[in-house]
């Protein structure tokens, strides 16, 4: 048992004080990253009130409890405004799990190793792109594990979305209408391959593609009228440039080039997910601007206890909403410290989004909540992810020699139209596609115009 050395509001005062002074170091009692580098444990960086929901709520909520409309007021400050509305007004429930103090459970193993070994080697060049001290593209891991401003924080989200050199996500999506009924359902695949900032063998650059950041494709395998629809994005390393976009539409039976600046509209009917929403950093970083750190605080985040395990296809039970179908069952833990960053879509004059606000967990620099506001400043959408180490008792899904770490599910709620898209990273989806990481031959298989044509119908 830890001895309480600090009074209840100590951490809140520290956060406010640091915000006032513009101090950005993570950790309340001691700097966070030296502790992580030393032992991978964050316990000594935070007082108990930031490591225990019982302490934070003075015993009103305990680990294992469900957050419901009856007790959500005790954690109102720990939820983004949309998640609070879900629980307080729409019947959502959230299971509380223990706070993760071992950060090795919050990263893919190689990515954490690269983050630690490459600490201090990143900088922003005159254009705003992340480079090494030698001016080369980034070499892997979080470039700014202890960011000093909003751009550095967003660099961590943008440069490697899935934190593997490549990731293949088999995704199953359900879209819930305002009446709470299922309106649409899609199966799609999402493949991403970094070409720089690689952390595996043969890195840090994919030969011949040093000028790019990643290839990313998405294609639908269900239902019939969407099957075969696919898009291929080629991201340049220069984050001021829009990606190239090629697509295959079944009606056209051929691969064609598409404009790429339309990133604020659904991919398919009924879905609330926009390209811009991916990883809260779906657009090249420098096509957005006015990055501001607007807060530091504890938060409830779905960062552990969320993998469903074998035999479930990694799909999860649902509840809440008018018909009991609106929300995934989700586990959240008390995240000791998040950085709250806002940004505006300065490169998209007619974007319907006025700004986004992102809560980023300082332990792994991954976002735990993300909301957008429309041009009038009204709250519009939330994009709430869940993550986990894919380990449940003896049941594991391996990434090389270690259990995989990845996202498990997302709930994307358009609160203005009251439409919910919720999707899981499934073990597999229609078409025989299965999720995996660092897949050999990913580029040839899924990330070329040739592959779009092959996968088309």
Partner 1 sequence: MNRARRLPLAVHAAALAVAVAGSPAILALDLNVSGLIRQEMAYKLTGDENPFNQHGNVYNGKTVDNYVHTLFGLPPGITRPDYSESNDWNLQATRAELDIQATFSETLTGAMKVRAFHDWGVYDDYGDPNFFEVPLRGDCGTRLEVCGDDYMIDLPSLYLDYTNGGFWLRAGNQQIAWGESIFFRVLDVPNGLDLRRHNILDWASEEYADERVPGLGVRGSYRFRNNWELEGFAQEFNASIYSNENTPYNIVGAQFVRQEEETFDRVDDEWNFGARLRGQIGELGLQFIAVSRRNPDGVWRWTTSKVNSFTQAGLPDPDLGGVTLGQMLAQTPYEAFTGQGVFTAREWFEYAGLTRLDGANLQRQLDDFPAAKALTAGNGLPTSGVVDIPTSTLVLDAFFSPMLGLGDLRGHIERTYPREHIFGFGMNYMFYGEPDTLLDQLIVRFEATVTPDKKFTNIALGQDPTKETEWATSLVFEKNHRFTERFPATYMVLQWLHRSEADLFGRLVSGYDASATVSPPRGRDHYDAFALALQQPSPTLAWRFDLAVLYDAEGGYLIQPGVRWKPSKSYTVELYANFLDGDNGDAMGTVAWGDELGLRLGYQF
Element (H, E) at 154: helix 150-158
User: With CB under 8 A as the contact rule, which of the stretches 30-38, 42-50, 253-261, 327-335 interacts with partner 1?
Assistant: 253-261
With binding defined as CB under 8 A, does residue 179 bind partner 1?
A: no
Give me the least distance between CB of 212 and partner 1, in Å please: 10
With binding defined as CB under 8 A, does residue 142 bind partner 1?
A: no
Spatial separation of the C-alpha atoms in residues 26 and 361, rounded to whole Å: 10
Residue 364: which of 170, 47, 109, 125 has the closest Cα? 109
Which residues 196-235 are close enough to bind partner 1 by CB under 8 A? 208-209, 221-225, 227
* Burial profile 136-152: b = 16 or more Cβ within 10 angstroms, e = fewer: ebbbbbbbbbbbebbbb
Which residue in 292, 319, 325, 445 binds partner 1 (CB under 8 A)? 445
- Strands 330-344 and 94-97 come out as parallel
Q: What's the burial of 276, exposed, middle or buried (CB within 10 Å: 0-12/13-18/19+)?
A: buried
Q: Which is nearer to partner 1, 285 or 389 (CB)?
A: 285
With binding defined as CB under 8 A, does residue 322 bind partner 1?
A: no
Q: Which is nearer to partner 1, 77 or 225 (CB)?
A: 225
Which residue in 311, 349, 377, 393 binds partner 1 (CB under 8 A)? 349
Spatial separation of the C-alpha atoms in residues 213 and 194, rounded to whole Å: 6
Give me the least distance between CB of 168 and partner 1, in Å please: 11
With binding defined as CB under 8 A, does residue 38 bind partner 1?
A: no
With binding defined as CB under 8 A, does residue 135 bind partner 1?
A: no
Which residue in 138, 190, 264, 314 binds partner 1 (CB under 8 A)? 264
Question: First and final CA of the chain: distance in angstroms?
Answer: 60
With binding defined as CB under 8 A, does residue 34 bind partner 1?
A: no
Element (H, E) at 442: helix 442-446
The Cβ of residue 17 has, within 10 Å, a number of other Cβ atoms equal to 10
Q: Which is nearer to partner 1, 310 or 450 (CB)?
A: 450
User: With CB under 8 A as the contact rule, which of the stretches 34-42, 112-120, 124-132, 442-450 interacts with partner 1?
Assistant: 442-450
From start to end of 225-309, where are the E strands?
Answer: 230-236, 244-249, 254-258, 289-301
Instruction: Summarize as ranges the residues that interact with partner 1 (CB under 8 A).
Output: 175, 182-186, 208-209, 221-225, 227, 242, 244, 250-254, 256-262, 264-266, 268-271, 347-352, 374-375, 417, 419, 428, 430-433, 441, 444-445, 448-451, 453-454, 457
């Amino acid at each position: 048992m830890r001895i309480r050395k600090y009074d209840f509001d100590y951490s809140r005062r520290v956060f406010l004080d640091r915000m006032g002074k513009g101090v950005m170091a993570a950790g309340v009692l001691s700097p966070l990253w030296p502790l992580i580098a030393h032992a991978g444990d964050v316990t000594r960086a935070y007082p108990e009130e930031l490591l225990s929901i019982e302490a934070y709520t003075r015993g009103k909520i305990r680990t294992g409890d469900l957050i419901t409309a009856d007790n959500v007021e005790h954690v109102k400050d720990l939820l983004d405004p949309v998640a609070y509305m879900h629980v307080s007004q729409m019947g959502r429930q959230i299971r509380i799990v223990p706070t993760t103090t071992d950060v090795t459970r919050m990263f893919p193993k190689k990515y954490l190793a690269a983050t630690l070994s490459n600490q201090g080697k990143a900088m922003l060049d005159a254009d705003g792109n992340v480079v090494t001290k030698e001016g080369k593209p980034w070499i892997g891991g979080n470039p700014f594990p202890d960011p000093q401003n909003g751009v550095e924080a967003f660099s961590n989200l943008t440069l490697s979305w899935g934190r593997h050199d490549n990731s293949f996500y088999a995704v199953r999506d359900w879209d819930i209408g305002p009446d709470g009924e299922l309106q649409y359902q899609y199966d799609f695949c999402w493949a991403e391959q970094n070409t720089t900032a690689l952390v595996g063998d043969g890195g840090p650059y994919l030969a011949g593609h040093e000028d790019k950041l990643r290839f990313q494709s998405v294609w639908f395998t269900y239902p019939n009228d969407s099957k075969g629809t696919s898009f291929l994005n080629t991201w340049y390393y220069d984050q001021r440039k829009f990606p190239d976009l090629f697509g295959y539409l079944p009606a056209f039976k051929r691969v064609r080039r598409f404009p790429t600046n339309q990133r604020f509209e659904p991919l398919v009917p009924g879905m609330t997910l926009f390209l811009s929403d991916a990883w809260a950093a779906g657009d090249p970083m420098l096509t957005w601007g006015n990055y501001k750190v607007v807060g530091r605080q504890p938060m409830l985040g779905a960062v552990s206890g969320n993998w469903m395990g074998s035999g479930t296809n990694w799909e999860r039970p649902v509840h809440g909403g008018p018909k009991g179908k609106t929300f995934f069952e989700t586990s959240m833990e008390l995240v000791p410290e998040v950085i709250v960053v806002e940004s505006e879509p300065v490169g998209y004059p007619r974007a319907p989004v006025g700004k986004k606000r992102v809560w980023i967990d300082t332990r792994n620099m991954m976002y735990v909540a993300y909301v957008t506001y429309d041009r009038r400043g009204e709250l519009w959408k939330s994009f709430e992810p869940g993550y986990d180490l894919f380990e449940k008792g003896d049941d594991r899904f391996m990434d090389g020699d270690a259990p995989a770490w990845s996202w498990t599910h997302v709930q994307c709620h358009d609160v203005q139209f009251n439409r919910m898209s919720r999707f899981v990273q499934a073990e597999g989806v229609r078409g025989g596609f299965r999720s995996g990481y660092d897949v050999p031959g990913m580029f040839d298989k899924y990330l070329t115009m040739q592959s779009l044509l092959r996968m088309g119908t």
